[in-house]
Structure 1
Amino acid sequence: MGFEFQILDKLQTIHTPLLDRFMVAITKLGDAGIVWIILTVILLLIPKTRKSGVYMAVALIADLIICNVILKPIVARIRPYSINQTVQLLVTPLKDYSFPSGHTAASFASVSALYFAGRKRMAAGALIVSVLIAFSRMYLYVHYPTDVLGGLIIGLLCGWIADMIIQKVMEKRSRKSR
């Protein structure tokens, strides 16, 4: 864990008032997955993009179960600011555990869901936002680098899970309609 604190502490040296405000705003996009939930709802409401919305919904549900219901309580990793209490937090301390980063997992679940749904341009835009959200979690000292990496991997896995589930459902429907 020493190398992780070295990374987090190094990030503390790049703080500026403008960057602080930007990172707080970026991280808030990921609070409770709100930006991704809103995008999912919008996509579900538009007939032309409904399939992409279904992909995102399934990926985000998988993410919620894997991260918040299964992994966070099992791993029970305390947050970095609970260990290094000298850091001035720019966000309200969180009550849940650190591993994996839920903000990062939801973000990358959305990116990969959009990619698997065939929305590559939208996925590219979501990727930019996701990378910023993931970085903000370390910048703000609320996650270790391995929390963010774990969230990224789990998020990508959730998009793939969504693709597998949707493909199976579509195959089953196709067989029934014959």
Structure 2
Amino acid sequence: MNTLLQWDRWLQKSVNLDMISPINDKLMSLWSAEWPWFLIVLGFAIPIIRSRQWPRLWAIGWIGLTVGVSDMVSHYILKPWFGRIRPCRMEGLVRIVEGCSGYYSFPSNHAANAAVFATLWFLLFSRFQGSLAVLCAFVIGMSRVYLGVHYPTDILGGFIWGTFLALISYLIWQRLPLSRELAKA
């Protein structure tokens, strides 16, 4: 356990302190915001909407529902249960780039939600776009550490939780009549 905590602190310092630059401050703040994800989702969804592929739109709704479940369970159940205090709430531990929202940090909602989206998009639609979403999820996770609001293990825990939930969601989706419609499309 000591080794994991040492690794966590070392990686926290490497990302949060050793990468300091005004450009990184802006880029990481941008990647950490929620609105770029809406643009990414919209970019992935526009071709589906234009071609009126209704089963695929239902699948996008399913992804959104799963992201919502991930977000609520992480925020209302997992974070209070684990009770890990955010690094930005620990005086002098990290450099805080733009404030410190919330009190608990494990698991990262940003990481969990990004993992749900990327995993389900990969499984339901396009392996290429899903791989791009995985890359975006990684950058989002790194941005949360850079901004000082999460430990690296919060991100790892979020990725694990989000991927697990996405796989459960995918198994449920496959049993729904809508999934057969998507397979025909």
TM-score by length of 2: 0.79
Seen in structure 2, the aligned counterparts of structure 1 residues 2 and 88 have a Cα distance that, compared at 3 Å, is: same
In structure 2, how many angstroms separate the alpha carbons of the residues matched to 1:102 and 1:137?
10
Seen in structure 2, the aligned counterparts of structure 1 residues 78 and 90 have a Cα distance that, compared at 3 Å, is: same
- Higher mean C-alpha deviation, range 84-93 or range 66-75: 84-93
Match of 1:35 among 29, 34, 37: 37
Which region of structure 1 is more displaced relative to structure 2, 66-75 or 162-171?
Answer: 162-171
- Residue in structure 2 matching 1:17, options 18, 22, 31: 22
Return the letter of the residue paired with 1:168: R
Deviations 1:101-137 (A, max 9, x none): 1111111100001012132122122112111101111
4-13 vs 126-135, which moves further: 4-13
- Within 5 Å, give how 1:158-177 maps onto structure 2: 158-170=165-177
Alignment pair present for 1:119 and 2:114? no
- 1:43-90: per-residue Cα shift (whole Å, max 9, x none)? 498232314303312321231233112201111110112224353311
Paired position in structure 2 for 1:110: 117
Task: Measure, in 1, the Cα distance between the counterparts of 2:64 and 2:21.
Answer: 36
Q: SS in structure 1 opposite 2:31?
A: helix
In the alignment, structure 2 segments of 5+ residues that lack a partner are none
Q: State whether residues 173 and 179 of structure 2, in contact with CA within 8 Å, keep that contact through their aligned partners in structure 1.
A: no
The 8 Å contact of residues 112 and 159 in structure 2, kept in 1 or not, is answered as yes
> Residue 153 of structure 1 aligns with which residue?
160
Distance 1:106 1:70, change over 3 A: same
Gaps of 5+ in 1: none
Q: Name whichever of 48-57 and 94-103 sits farther off.
A: 48-57
Give identity over the alignment, percent.
25
Q: TM-score, normalised by structure 1?
A: 0.82
